[in-house]
Structure 1
């Protein structure tokens, strides 16, 4: 009985995968934006530990977003987004090394736009 229940839960998860994945990406954008803001605040307050923590989380999310791109089926869009994520990772690295708020502002601006586009165009929110 428990195995049957577990199988049904697994099957339901599989049938909802597309919607779930779309929502997960929205959540990842929100998380990346949140950690970018925290990074900027940590740079402003000269809190090195908080900056390192926030940047590690931000980089992890950006790398995850980059790694789940479907470049094979969507080569043009995939390559474009790859380059955007690479740019954001580079900006984050520069902001970290230089303690530069303006470089984090660029990351924040991009992530806000990407989140808004995702929510309006993909999730239709």
Structure 2
């Protein structure tokens, strides 16, 4: 079992160190969604400490996404207030133990993630040509 965990950790570390900036952003979105799901489960189980830890991890990811925005690009100026809104809503969810608020943020993060996936797919198509029939 310990060898399996060591192999998994090595794989994760290698995935992060070899990922492109676009893939890293995708990993951040997926990580945020994972922590939001865990926070919802913790609320249902009335595990306040676990809820708090996972919401704070999701907030840290949103803060990281905010810090990577290039404010010289117009879309970044539009995304920053959305990230700020999500962060604020997660604070409210944490205080109120509100699964509905977490689900609202999950919806936004999922939309951002899916849009980002499409951007990566289009960039790869343009970079490597149309020979892959639109698959990554």
TM-score (norm 2): 0.73
The answer for the alignment partner of 1:109 in structure 2 is 107
**In the aligned structure 2, how far is the partner of 1:87 from the partner of 1:101?**
16
Unpaired runs of 5+ in structure 1? 1-16
SS of 2:26's equivalent? helix
**Is it true that 1:52 corresponds to 2:52 in the alignment?**
yes
**In the aligned structure 2, how far is the partner of 1:36 from the partner of 1:56?**
10
The answer to which structure, 1 or 2, has the higher relative contact order (CA under 8 A, 6+ apart) is: 1
SS of 1:123's equivalent? helix
**Is it true that 1:67 corresponds to 2:79 in the alignment?**
no
Alignment of 1:72-87 (within 5 A): 72=72, 74=73, 76-87=74-85
The answer for the alignment partner of 1:123 in structure 2 is 120
Aligned residues: 105
Deviating runs (4+, > 2 A) in structure 1? none
How far is the alpha carbon of 1:56 from its aligned partner?
A: 1.5
Which deviations, in whole Å up to 9, do the C-alpha atoms of 1:96-116 show, x marking residues without a partner? 001111101101111111111
Unpaired runs of 5+ in structure 2? 1-17, 122-135
**In the aligned structure 1, how far is the partner of 2:88 from the partner of 2:115?**
22
The answer for the alignment partner of 2:42 in structure 1 is 42
SS of 2:20's equivalent? helix
TM-score (norm 1): 0.79
